Structure 1
Amino acid sequence: MFEFLDVYPWLLPFIIFFGRIIDVTLGTLRIIFVSKGAKNIAPIIGFVEVFIWIVIISQILVRANDIVSYLSYAAGYATGNYVGILIENRIAYGILLCRIYTQKNGKELVQMLNQVNFGATMTHGTGSTNEVDIIETVVDRKEMKTLALMLTQFDSNIFYVVEDVRTKKNGIFPKRKTILSRWRVGK
């Protein structure tokens, strides 16, 4: 499979490095999809991840006999972790629960959130210094930046916490745009 490495042995560290980047990046994404319950995506990613790992390891065991190959393996692993985190942040897969605490009128914030199709529930509470309104909303991770901007515009002293949610059911959620919705007549 890699006979060309007998002629060009200097390519081996590069193949090891980039193979490990791809392998570890896929591993990082697979773990994230498993934790989110994506049972259809995770096995496919796992298959490709392990296949690449086997190919790289076999080349290391057969051909690698120098420190450069070993360093390429370690550097590819470290870089793959970094790249996996960057990609995961970019795709922003998942659902978040945002719990918001404000001393301003929470009903106004709930109305603002409802206007942009974020369902919200409000309760009253007593904080350490004052009465507060507590608003909870469930959003896709892709929407968190938009939500955070709205919250700081509403109240510059707002406090909120964000938690991962595995599943959601019922409620008010914005309709997802699909790639086909651009070309549907009347939409």
Structure 2
Amino acid sequence: MWNNFVEMLTITPISELLLIFIAKIIEVSIGTMRIILISKGYRKIGTSLAIIEIFLWVFVASSVINGISESPMKGVSYSFGFAAGVYVGSLIEQKLAFGKVMIQTITSKALSNDIASLLRASGFGVTTLQAMGKDDEKTMLMIYANRRDAGKAVHIIKSVHEAAVIVSNEISNVSGGYINPMKKLLK
């Protein structure tokens, strides 16, 4: 029995199992990116990725399905590749940071002009609204930005007012307003 188990684990060369694993990571990463991009309105890129994704899927899945009864390790490699692909795809999307965000900041009235000026000088559109906090008057700043630039905006805000309230929300539809035209990407 032990010999049968060892044979089952070693019947397929490690290089073939590694190829299945890596190809599945690439395929699922592309699929994860495709779904995220399409949901954020990047249909052209998403459609292009779908062609690559399905091409990889057909060849990897057929290789595994055709040989799974002789080598169950192909299924194990395929499964681990799928899980790793989901993780890798989400990391790639996080680094590329597609989409738009609305950053809302509540700050003191005294510091709001300094923050707004620095943000505008850095290319961000800023709308200011007068507000009332618990104890005194405040100013709310609304900044519409590309998601990849959100960290820069938050850094600017915190450099002037470390204790400012900052809320960031992803948005899907925007009409009008200002965003740096050089920062629009392939939509």
Q: Which residue of 2 aligns with 1:121?
A: 127
Distance 1:128 1:70, change over 3 A: farther
Contact 1:104 1:155 in 2 (8 A): no
TM-score (norm 2): 0.83
What are structure 2's unaligned runs of at least 5 residues?
Answer: 1-11
2:165 to 150, 153, 159: 159
1:103 has 2:113 as partner: no
1:63 has 2:67 as partner: yes
1:155, 1:177 → 2: CA distance?
Answer: 26
Distance 1:44 1:177, change over 3 A: closer
**Aligned partner letter, 1:99:** Q
Distance 1:153 1:12, change over 3 A: same
CA RMSD of aligned residues (A): 2.1
**Aligned partner letter, 1:50:** I
**Aligned partner letter, 2:45:** I
DSSP-derived class of the 2:43 partner = coil
Distance 1:177 1:55, change over 3 A: same
Contact 2:109 2:137 in 1 (8 A): no
Shift in Å at residue 175 of structure 1?
4.2
Contact 2:146 2:183 in 1 (8 A): no
TM-score (norm 1): 0.83
What are structure 1's unaligned runs of at least 5 residues?
Answer: 1-7, 179-187
Taking the TM superposition and a 5 Å limit, the aligned residue runs for 1:29-44 are 29-44=33-48
Q: Which residue of 2 aligns with 1:20?
A: 24
Contact 2:105 2:167 in 1 (8 A): yes
2:154, 2:137 → 1: CA distance?
Answer: 22
Distance 1:60 1:75, change over 3 A: same
Contact 1:122 1:133 in 2 (8 A): yes
Bigger fraction of residues in helix: 2
2:45, 2:183 → 1: CA distance?
Answer: 20
1:107, 1:83 → 2: CA distance?
Answer: 41
DSSP-derived class of the 1:117 partner = coil
DSSP-derived class of the 2:168 partner = strand
Distance 1:130 1:77, change over 3 A: farther
